[in-house]
Amino acid sequence: MTIPPIPENILSLFRLIAFSAGAYIFVFWVGLLVWTFQDIRRRSRDILAQILAVLLVALFNLPGLLIYYVMRPQDTLADSYERSLEEEALLQSIEERLLCPGCRQRVQPDYVLCPSCHTKLQKRCPHCDRLLHLKWEACPYCGQGVKE
């Protein structure tokens, strides 16, 4: 008993399916590589890290992508840039507050006036005695008005 030959049209259908699946996987794989490359470029300027990330995904596909996802830098370069700006602004405002606006001498945060040039730095709340900004017209601690 012989196995009847598979009809030619069925064979070509199988070939078409195999080809489509192959093409689909290839496009998916290239897509992963492109995504990884663009993602790592936003997170690192290190060429070696970029090559490693793309290689990882090229060799291991989805598991590689998963590993990359866990190990990649959490912040994008834009994020870190923004954060460094924020930190700088914060530092600057602390420095500003600790300098006398009259003579630029260093003053302590609880000084009421500058010991060098006697510029008024802060005022005291007449009700609760806490230090207030000169511009404040009400005390945020006790809620009383402090108009002079």
**Residue numbers at the binding site for Zn ion (CB under 5 A):** 100, 102-103, 105, 114, 116-117, 119, 125, 127-128, 139, 141-142
In the complex, least distance from residue 97 CB atom to Zn ion, rounded to whole angstroms = 13
The residue assigned the tokens 């995904």 is 57
Cβ within 8 Å of residue 66, ≥6 positions away? none
Whichever of 34 and 134 has its CB closer to Zn ion, that residue is 134
Nearest-approach distance from CB 134 to Zn ion, in angstroms: 14
- Shortest distance (Å) from residue 146 CB to Zn ion: 7
CB 107 within 8 A of CB 114: yes
5-21: b (≥16 Cβ within 10 Å) or e: eeeeeeeeeeeeeeeee
Q: How far is the CB of 138 from Zn ion (least distance, A)?
A: 9
Q: Which is nearer to Zn ion, 98 or 142 (CB)?
A: 142
Candidates 30, 76, 36; CA nearest to 56 is 36
Please say which residue, 49 or 131, places its beta carbon nearer to Zn ion: 131
Beta carbons of 40 and 53 less than 8 angstroms apart: yes
**Which lies closer to Zn ion via its Cβ, residue 25 or residue 99?**
99
